[in-house]
Amino acid sequence: MPLEEQKIETYHPFFIIDNKKIIVVCTTIILLSILFYQFILSAPINFPAGQIYDLKDGQTLPIVSNNFASSNIIRSSFFFKAFVYVFSKGKATLIEGDYALYKKQSVISLAWRVTHGLLDIVPIKITIPEGTNSFEIANILANNFPSFDNQIFLSIVQSEKLEGYLFPDTYLFMPNMKETEMIKMMTDNYKRKIAELEPQINKFGKSESDVIKMASIIEEEGRTTETREIIAGILWKRLSVKMPLQVDSSFKYINGKTTETLTADDLKIDSPYNSYTNRGLPPTPISNPGLEAIKATINPIKTPYFYFLSDKDGNMHYAATFDEHIANKLKYIK
């Protein structure tokens, strides 16, 4: 028999057996590694993504590891502590700070972060639309910041009478900001914006408070610069003759309803914000107006009109008398 054939017959079966063993061993190792990572090192299914962990000065490794485990941030406190020891070269040193938990992270990644002070805090862009009231702003912030407290926010706004002065704009809020800090950012922005209009407001002859109250209504009632200025002229004129403002937008602040959903009973609601049963401006602004609405408020257009309404397409229709107003309603609304 040729030598080559002998070699094949002698060694081939041996290599087949070894290859099978290697494949089995490798497969087992891979599967065990996957299972080990999946059930020990990976983030828990209910990892609190989007929250901030405040690692305070003086918190020991056992305390932090237990907090992480009980908060579903890690699966194994043992392996978290083990990796902290490795990454801190046996010193178990933790660096204090607010750690952002934007997404699920392994126990290895978290151990590396707390031993190197990688907070990963980045600002979140939030847009507050013009004409948004404090309740709506609170909901926007609560939907973006898990630790945000609506009640704290609203109590500050109400106690310090800040409705109307939370300037609508796009903000970059840090995820660990307190409600007071967010409010300060918005009110400071208002002060900067209104400063350029102060000479015009003084010349107009109305207090800044009254201007903002009226602007909050104008923001809701008109959409274009011209319609806002015409409506401003109408509403200032109503005030001058001691006529109720009779604007539907005030009910959004009372019960959240708009013109389309208001009923006859709604118009009789006992509230200082009911602009049908009370004369004068509301006790506070009913929303937070933008700069354009404020400008329109102090630049009213004089017209013979006392009434206005918007049809289903958003077009404005004006009337000098109540009879003309009713005729417009029948023609454009019903």
pLDDT digits (tens, 9 = 90+) for 267-319: 889 999 999 999 999 999 999 999 999 999 999 999 999 999 888 888 899 99
Give me the chain's average pLDDT, please: 88
Q: Count structural domains, the chain.
A: 3
Domain boundary among 173, 194, 215: 194
Asked if residue 67 has pLDDT above 90, the reply is: yes
Strand (E) or helix (H) holding 131: none
Domain boundary among 134, 163, 194: 194
Residue 268 lies in a domain: yes
Q: Name residues whose C-beta falls within 8 Å of residue 19's C-beta, 6 or more positions apart in sequence.
A: none
Asked if residue 31 has pLDDT above 80, the reply is: no
Asked if residue 92 has pLDDT above 70, the reply is: yes
Q: Are residues 273 and 202 in the same domain?
A: yes
Please write the tens of the pLDDT for every residue from 174-201. 888 899 999 999 999 999 999 999 999 9
Q: Are residues 297 and 221 in the same domain?
A: yes
Residue-range definition of the domain harbouring residue 161: 124-194
Please give the share of the chain, as a percent, with pLDDT higher than 90.
62
Q: Are residues 182 and 267 in the same domain?
A: no
More confident of the two residues 102 and 135: 135
Q: Are residues 249 and 200 in the same domain?
A: yes
Q: Are residues 220 and 285 in the same domain?
A: yes
Residue 3 lies in a domain: no
User: CA dist 252 to 106, 160, 165, 264, 310, Å?
Assistant: 47, 21, 18, 15, 17
Q: Are residues 142 and 210 in the same domain?
A: no
For residue 47, give the amino acid letter: F
CATH number assigned to the domain comprising residue 165: 3.30.1490
Q: Are residues 218 and 296 in the same domain?
A: yes
Query: What confidence category does residue 25 fall into, taking pLDDT thresholds of 50, 70 and 90?
Result: low
Q: What is the pLDDT of residue 103?
A: 86
Strand (E) or helix (H) holding 98: strand 97-101
Instruction: Kindly report the pTM of this predicted structure.
Output: 0.74
Q: Are residues 55 and 112 in the same domain?
A: yes
Q: Are residues 136 and 67 in the same domain?
A: no
Q: What is the pLDDT of residue 296?
A: 97
Q: Which residue has the tokens 């926010």?
A: 153
Residue 321 lies in a domain: no
Residue 190 lies in a domain: yes
Closest residue by Cα to residue 188 from 217, 204, 165: 165
Q: Name residues whose C-beta falls within 8 Å of residue 14's C-beta, 6 or more positions apart in sequence.
A: none
Domain boundary among 194, 229, 254: 194
Residue 109 lies in a domain: yes
Angle at which helix 150-159 crosses helix 134-144, to 10 degrees, equals 150
CA 160 – CA 141 distance, rounded (Å): 19
Asked if residue 3 has pLDDT above 90, the reply is: no
Residues 230, 218 contacting (CB under 8 angstroms):
no
